[in-house]
Chain A
Amino acid sequence: MARRPMSRLMKREAIDGYIFILPWLLGFLLWTAGPMLASVILSLMRWDLFSAPVWAGLKNFQDLFRNPLVGVAFYNTAFYTFLSVPINLTTALITALLLNQRIKFQSFFRTFFYLPGIMPAVANAVLWLWILNPDIGLANSLLKMLGLPTSQWLWHPASSKPSFILIGLWSTGNTMVIFLAGLQGIPQSLYEAAEIDGANWYHRFRAVTLPMLSPVILFNLVLGIIGTFQIFTGAYLMTNGGPQNSTLFAVLYLYRLAFEQFNMGLASAFAWLLFFVILGFTLIQLRLSRSWVYYEGGEA
């Protein structure tokens, strides 16, 4: 209850406020909160979409823990995420640092790095299947010309996940542009002050660049992990989980359970498992970030 009665004007403003946010609120209830609630109930049922749903209790979750493919899917996803995200962020950061020097044609280079990031995933799949083709693809042809050993790329369990990491690295331009913007937002005076104190390039990077950039790094890290954990399109189109389930990623497995085997209950239970894993990693990062992220204006 409001402590003071609202004036007529305040009431009008409040009503308008609710009207303005109503579309989002409805959308939240219809497309997020409602489905999440439904998903909880579904995860406790057996349902193939066609016959009547049957109550199953926690049986779906028990099945998941007994199913070896669940472990495989999580292992593949974690392997991909925890290599791909750090490699991507480091590459993006180094490229941004190089670009941020007073360099000519800066916008040209920026365009070159950014462009692959907006390529449609399907076109990417067609293109990379062709480039990485072990017999006639460009990648192996170039390696052969340079006298280097070739690879089976997507067609061997040992190199399939690294191939996905490589493909992901190609679309890192977006992160690079965000870093570049962050770098350009660091006041020059900080560097000048550091230089007067006798800081060399490493000190300047360590004591000025990294702390000033840390919120941007955290942002890219959190969203990067959430995104890569949900990798689907590339794996679905290029390898469909193979060879030998080495690219069976979590969302691909979810898709199979739900839309190929029509096991809606088990799939929902799996979705929740995945949800809590991602949420867990996000919360851990946010907790850890307190010790390394520097917010301007906050207590140092």
Chain B
Amino acid sequence: MSAAQGVVASAAGQSSHASLRPRKPVSFYLVRTLQYGIMILLSCIFMIPLVWIVSTSLKQQGEVFAYPPVWIPNPIQWHNYAEALNRAPLLRWLANTATITLIAMVGNVVMSSFVAFGFARLRFPGRDALFVLLLSTMMLPEVVTIIPRFILFKALGWLDTILPMVVPPFFGGGAFNIFLVRQFYLTIPKDYDEAARIDGASNFAIWRRVLVPLSMPVLTAIGIFSFVYHWNDFLHPLLYLFTEDKKTLALGLRAFINPYDASWHISMAASMFLVVPIMVLFFIGQRYFIKGVVMTGIAGR
């Protein structure tokens, strides 16, 4: 490939002297073809598992085990979804998941933007030391706090409620989120604050009426990441929720993992209840997803 690209560069250079529209050499097309070939192959490999979950969820039992594998079910068996609903309270679990996710998301978004205002805009003794402390908590592995938190929540009587999942986000909104919003606030000129302050606005009003409206892109990104995190979370519901009708969908789906049960098509259909909302969210908010990932990447510098 190195030789090929070298040739491309030098050949292109020479031909541009000869005529105004350089003719591209064969090797250029070869490299291009190879490039597209690899991309298409990789995309297919990445897409196969997703296609397979959808395909299996719509098959009849007989087709599930067919060899060679059947890709497009015939007939399409929508009944699998009804059967999945019959076997477990999926809709109830879905509602529980949605409740936890939405409350936690509000906590993450509102509180991280609130705290970030203090770190980005106000001067007070110890601010920089506290910010370093905040940054260092981002690198702290969670493992040591799992057990004492569990004991704390047990002592508070919060076991088997959604409180262990939804209350912590309201205390600060997450170190990483605070960091992201703060970096974003630093790009907003202070003139806006000053103008509002001269008009007699309090710090709270400046945060609420000036900075929050200007930082919607980063807040949307945080909201989306928080949604994905809480929607997909398995560990915390596993630790804190026990009663069947209090479970989240992620936790409840565990009942469909049974290697000795041959109804894979029903398990896939049940999983789709968890997967589809996330995918819909992705396709609606794709722009913000990518933007958000880009922001985290740049913050990582």
Contact = CB atoms under 8 A, between A and B. Distances in A.
Interface in A1-50: 2, 10, 13-21, 23-28, 30-32, 34-36, 38-39, 42, 49
B198 interface: no
A298 to B, nearest CB: 11
A167 to B, nearest CB: 9
A20 B118 contact: yes
A180 B231 CA distance: 26
Given A24-B172, A181-B293, A200-B2, A258 B278 contact: no
Contact of A2 (B50, B114, B125, B148): B125
A163 to B, nearest CB: 13
A31 B168 contact: yes
A39 B147 contact: yes
Interface stretch (A56-64, A66-74, A78-86, A263-271): A263-271
A39 B154 CA distance: 15
B46 to A, nearest CB: 5
B158 interface: no
B293 A122 contact: no
Contacts of A38: 148, 151-152
Interface residues of B, number: 97
A116 interface: yes
Interface stretch (B19-27, B72-80, B212-220, B253-261): B253-261
Contact of B35 (A24, A98, A118): A98
Given A111-B286, A145-B68, A26 B147 contact: no
B290 to A, nearest CB: 6
Interface in B130-189: 130, 133-134, 137, 139-152, 154, 168, 170-173, 175, 178
B208 to A, nearest CB: 12
Nearest to B206: A16
A128 B53 CA distance: 9
Contacts of B139: 222, 226, 282
A42 B301 contact: no
A31 to B, nearest CB: 5
B259 A42 contact: no
Interface in A260-289: 264, 267-268, 271-272, 274-275, 278-279, 282
Nearest to B42: A95
What is the size category of the interface that chain A forms with chain B?
35 or more
Given A21-B115, A24-B178, A122-B250, A275 B144 contact: yes
Given A95-B42, A126-B268, A23 B147 contact: no
B256 A113 contact: no
Nearest to B287: A107
B68 A237 contact: no
Interface string B253-280: 1101101000010011011001100110
29 contacts: A14-B123, A16-B203, A16-B204, A18-B124, A20-B122, A20-B203, A20-B207, A24-B111, A24-B172, A31-B145, A110-B290, A112-B46, A113-B43, A115-B47, A118-B282, A119-B232, A119-B275, A121-B250, A122-B234, A122-B250, A129-B257, A130-B52, A138-B52, A173-B46, A178-B296, A226-B139, A229-B141, A274-B141, A274-B144
Given A19-B118, A232-B235, 16 more contacts: A2-B125, A23-B172, A24-B111, A24-B134, A25-B172, A31-B145, A31-B149, A35-B148, A35-B152, A98-B38, A109-B39, A120-B231, A142-B69, A177-B290, A182-B298, A215-B301
Closest 10 CB pairs between A and B?
A: A27-B171, A20-B118, A219-B300, A24-B172, A17-B124, A178-B297, A35-B148, A17-B122, A14-B124, A27-B172
